[in-house]
Structure 1
Amino acid sequence: MSGTESPVLAVLCGDRRPPDMEPIERAATVRYARADELPDALRGADALFVYDFLSRAVPGAWHAADRLRWLHIASAGVDPVMFPELRDSDVVLTNSRGVFDSAIAEYVLGVVIAFAKDFAGSLRLQQQRAWRHRETERVAGTSALVVGTGPIGRAIARLLGAVGMRVTGAGRRARDGDPDFGRVVASEDLTRHLPDFDVVVAVAPLTEQTRGMFDARAFAAMRPGARFVNVGRGELVVTEDLVSALRGGHLSGAALDVFEQEPLPPESPLWAMENVLVSAHMSGDFVGWRNALVEVFADNFARWCGGRPLRNVVDKRLGYVPSTP
């Protein structure tokens, strides 16, 4: 942005306003809005901060965006705002890449170890006051395929590698010598490579190419007894096909933080499966994550006001920020 006029910033925030906004409020006219108020907030606004990153309100309010030049979403995934009118516009889109990398990687490492050491079984036996000796698995020496080679996938690869797992990535382009994965296979060849791994971690962005990529064919291709972890997007998975693979015993377990429908409906069979770990879309939500999201936006806001290049600019054709390892 240039000039001396104070910018107008619309903030989609639901019932919870973002913290630490005082410096931005001193530099801009800030309009906080719930979903139904967003059209009014967008009229004459120069920028939009989608703090309520799960909201689907932006496409329906887009007709009122008569002056918008920049949209920032407080998440790594941009699918809630990736609609044709935005994609075809000159509005710059940025995301909050980098905030959740380490926390999600820790979650993935945690569930991998929890399955291998059967922590859930130990808890059930403890609740029964039952002393039952069992043998558990080693993690070191097992193999993992991380589907998605952006910063979150790379953080996952580093942590899994640190405990002795052999980690491979799956991304747009096959290559060797990657600094974090070593080897990256092409996602378009996913089913050919799935039989080679003990654990498959889904962290790919949601695009038309990745929607439903984990279906009956993909699960059937996985190694018998393999485990599946989804920390990407629920829509990457055809849930019925995953349930069938778990019920049939082809997969030995799944850790799921995201779902096709959220909240996960009470009638979902996933709740009652002893070989499934369910968490409420929280794998990246560490203490202080909301403040961290505002810090990323505030940095970009200062850049935008000063006419400097923005960080985390999304390629709207791809649907994510291109990685350059």
Structure 2
Amino acid sequence: MDPIERAATVRYTDAAGLPDALRGADALFVYDFLSRAVPDAWHAADRLRWLHIASAGVDPVLFPELRDSDVVLTNSRGVFDSAIAEYVLGVVIAFAKDFAGSLRLQQRSTWRHRETERVAGTSALVVGTGPIGRAIATLLRAVGMRVAGAGRRARDGDPDFGTVVSSDELSRHLPDFDVVVAVAPLTEQTKGLFDAEAFAAMRPGARFVNVGRGELVVTGDLVSALRSGQLSGAALDVFEQEPLPQDSPLWTMENVLLSAHMSGDVVGWRNALVEVFADNFARWRDGGPLRNVVDKRLGYVPSTA
């Protein structure tokens, strides 16, 4: 932040002090990307022209007043792509090779020979065709998986996915894949996208990975699909309620891999988030075009941006 402090008056604040800090401010950097403080403090934004959030998802700050205002919204797209793709590849391999089962046997000092699965030749549907989804597709293809995407518009010949199916027809395509990866942004259209109907449509024994937003999934329906055997496993990095409540059945299910909303948080990620803001600040100060401008009607940065 040093270069920014030399060029502007910077006020650091927590959620409680945000209204006072916002008064007279031209720009707001929401570094705590999980904070829900901005809507309550919006009445004090008397001069704001630009809001930047330190995440790829913008749902914590995309409230009606901001959407209807002239304030430009940018995000930190590009920081997490490779790291999240590596996470997804890791859990796909972990399930196929039953690493969790091996660890449980090791902890009991039990020698038990088993057969595991090949990853090559299986199929994955990546629901969300932004930069993170594209990075996931690239790595899954590299290990021999057949990959397709699901997005707003169906098309063929996509450079990363080959085929992209329409999210509006998701249930029709879900039975064709062994692994379904959720990485879509959270919008009114995607909230609760993976519910009982979607899980019932999946191939029996399919696996589900969520690295998008917890609210994409109806948690109770996911638990039921795992208990019934409709799904053979799930890897979850995000949840409807975070931290995950201690009484959630997901904690103790042997066919579930959990992590604490950290799939993209590799060493250096915090500095990288500030660097994205610093680069955009220099552009903004000089009157240049900003990176990662969010279409506030869509809720994400369009692929053409």
TM bracket, shorter-chain basis: over 0.9
Aligned partner of 2:234 among 235, 251, 254: 254
Is the aligned partner of 1:286 residue 2:266?
A: yes
CA distance in 2, matches of 1:29, 1:57: 21
Instruction: List aligned pairs for 1:29-68, cutoff 5 A.
Output: 29-68=9-48
Is the aligned partner of 1:203 residue 2:183?
A: yes
Is the aligned partner of 1:108 residue 2:81?
A: no
CA distance in 2, matches of 1:252, 1:277: 12
Local SS of the residue matching 1:36 = coil
Instruction: List aligned pairs for 1:223-238, cutoff 5 A.
Output: 223-238=203-218
**Paired letter, 1:137:** E
Partner of 1:70: 50
Instruction: Give structure 1 stretches of 5+ with no counterpart.
Output: 1-20
Partner of 2:196: 216
Local SS of the residue matching 1:227 = strand
Is the aligned partner of 1:171 residue 2:168?
A: no
Instruction: List aligned pairs for 1:1-325, cutoff 5 A.
Output: 21-324=1-304
CA distance in 1, matches of 2:284, 2:4: 12
CA distance in 2, matches of 1:273, 1:226: 16
For 1:8-66, what per-residue CA distance to the aligned partner results, in whole angstroms no more than 9, with x for missing partners?
A: xxxxxxxxxxxxx1111111100111001000000000000000000000000000000
For 1:137-156, what per-residue CA distance to the aligned partner results, in whole angstroms no more than 9, with x for missing partners?
A: 00000000000000000000
Partner of 1:11: none
Local SS of the residue matching 1:183 = strand
What number of residue pairs does the alignment pair up? 305
CA distance in 2, matches of 1:151, 1:177: 17
CA distance in 1, matches of 2:8, 2:233: 50
TM value normalised by structure 1: 0.93
CA distance in 1, matches of 2:262, 2:59: 18
Identity across aligned pairs (percent)? Answer: 89
CA distance in 2, matches of 1:22, 1:301: 12
Instruction: Give structure 2 stretches of 5+ with no counterpart.
Output: none
CA distance in 1, matches of 2:296, 2:133: 20
CA distance in 2, matches of 1:315, 1:324: 11
For 1:219-272, what per-residue CA distance to the aligned partner results, in whole angstroms no more than 9, with x for missing partners?
A: 000000000000000000000000000011110000000000000000000000
Deviation of 1:203 after TM superposition, in Å, equals 0.1
**Paired letter, 1:183:** T
Deviation of 1:324 after TM superposition, in Å, equals 2.9
Deviation of 1:87 after TM superposition, in Å, equals 0.2
TM value normalised by structure 2: 1.00
For 1:61-86, what per-residue CA distance to the aligned partner results, in whole angstroms no more than 9, with x for missing partners?
A: 00000000000000000000000000
Local SS of the residue matching 1:168 = strand
- Moved >4 Å (runs of 4+): none
